[in-house]
Amino acid sequence: MLALVYRKSVPRYLASAGAGKLMRRRFLPALAPVALRDIPFDRSTLDTRGLGPEWLILKVRMCGICGSDLNLLRGAESYLMEPYGSFPIGMGHEIVAEVVDAPDGSGFSAGERVVVEPTLHCAIRGLPPCRFCQQGDWNLCENFTDGILPAGPGIGFNSATGGGMAEAVAAHPLQCLRVPDSMPDETAVLADAMASALQPVLENRPADEDTVIVYGMGVIGQFLVRSLRAVGSRARVVAVARHRFQAELATAGGADQVLMSPTRRELGAAVGARFLPTTLAGGNLEGGADIFYDCVGSPRSLQEGLVSLRGRGRYVMVGTAGTAGGVDISSLWFRELTMTGSVYYGHGEYNGERRRTYELALEFLGDPAFPTSGLLTHTYPLPEWRRAFQTVFDKRGSGSMKVAFDMRG
């Protein structure tokens, strides 16, 4: 089968990192250690990879490109995350697929469509549940480097399972959720991005009288705005976008106000804060938002988040980040802020129940009233992977939101 395979190469990773800083809107495939390869993949292949007979073989229909894929290609992942990956890896974890080989007792049948929750937690690794997996918080599993599988928190970052940017992939029955017959693949492929945005909302839901900032209107920011409205939040939502098409989608998704690359003074005014001039550092704000959802994960977004929160406000890092040099963190202690992160998806509280986030995301996407129009902007066949990645890298030029590979042809 054809698969996009990423191999570990420190020189190429560092070269990609250097080039990424100079040409952030360019994908340079000659530097990235990734290539489309024809590799064997069948039941006997799974046995040699240590995957048991209960694993399903799936024919991939569509696979989305995630920001974490881009970080890998541009050399922007945290060095501290190295132990949580095994190489070579088949890229891709935003998967819609068709079951082609389902063992007896798996609960699935050939021909069924599924989305794949990629997390490889204790139960899938053949281990007793850790303290987090016992609660369904398998996004915080403490055994991502142990058990019968190689290191890696999920499909797309693990050498045994393969990835979704391929003609086929392996998945454990615990990872698969059926796609409703009425839901097209083009909607189902958004489930992973939706779940990634829904998790921080379930864990950090604002009060209805709160004002929140959603900083960054890429696809995760778009889904975060939509998740707030889907769970019934009436909080005032101020969205920060870089491009006009992102601003229009944010308004359609339920944002009360959208700012285009605002200055600090403009951001403060939008959340009712007073601007306090400073000789250096661009000024401070007094008062501000109750919650700041950072969907970018850059030094600038972190800085604006810390400054634009009121006393005892909450900063939530949704966009992945490594280093954040040069950020002034005085607001953290001066205003007694709370900082937290959000990773993947597990379970969360919704309407008084403990719900599986991925399942709830699929449920929201299946609601005809849920606004998905304009979120999936580009699809490409797998052999056009270079063009697909360039489309995502150059959002301004392409107008891309979610880009996906389409293997249905």
- The CATH number given to whatever domain includes residue 91 is 3.90.180.10
Rounded CA gap, 55 and 164, in Å?
15
Q: Are 92 and 58 members of one domain?
A: yes
Contacts of 227 (CB under 8 A, 6+ apart): 194, 197, 198, 201, 364
Instruction: Tell if the pTM clears 0.75, that is, is over it.
Output: yes
Q: What is the DSSP string of 8-73?
A: --HHHHHHHHHHHHH-TT---TTTSSEEEEE---SHHHHHHTT--TT-EEEEEEEEE--HHHHHHH
Single out the residue in 285, 319, 340 at which a domain terminates. 340
Structure tokens at 74: 């541009």
Residue at 361 is within a domain? no
Residue at 189 is within a domain? no
pLDDT in tens, 342-384: 999 999 999 999 999 999 999 999 999 999 999 999 999 999 9
Q: Are 107 and 140 members of one domain?
A: yes
Q: Are 100 and 140 members of one domain?
A: yes
With bands split at pLDDT 50, 70 and 90, how would you rate the model's confidence at 29? confident
What's residue 320's pLDDT?
86
Question: Residue 195, CB half-sphere, CA atoms under 13 Å: how many?
Answer: 32
Residue at 221 is within a domain? yes
Asked if residue 299 lies in contact with residue 329, where contact means CB atoms within 8 angstroms, the answer is no
- Return the residue matching tokens 């008062």: 287
Q: Are 38 and 152 members of one domain?
A: yes
pLDDT in tens, 123-152: 999 999 999 999 999 999 999 999 999 999
Q: Are 219 and 330 members of one domain?
A: yes
If you average pLDDT over residues 262-277, what whole number do you get? 98
Q: Are 8 and 118 members of one domain?
A: yes
Range of the domain at 272: 200-340
- Bridge partners (DSSP) listed for residue 285: 275
Q: Are 394 and 296 members of one domain?
A: no
Looking at the structure of the chain, the number of domains it has is 2
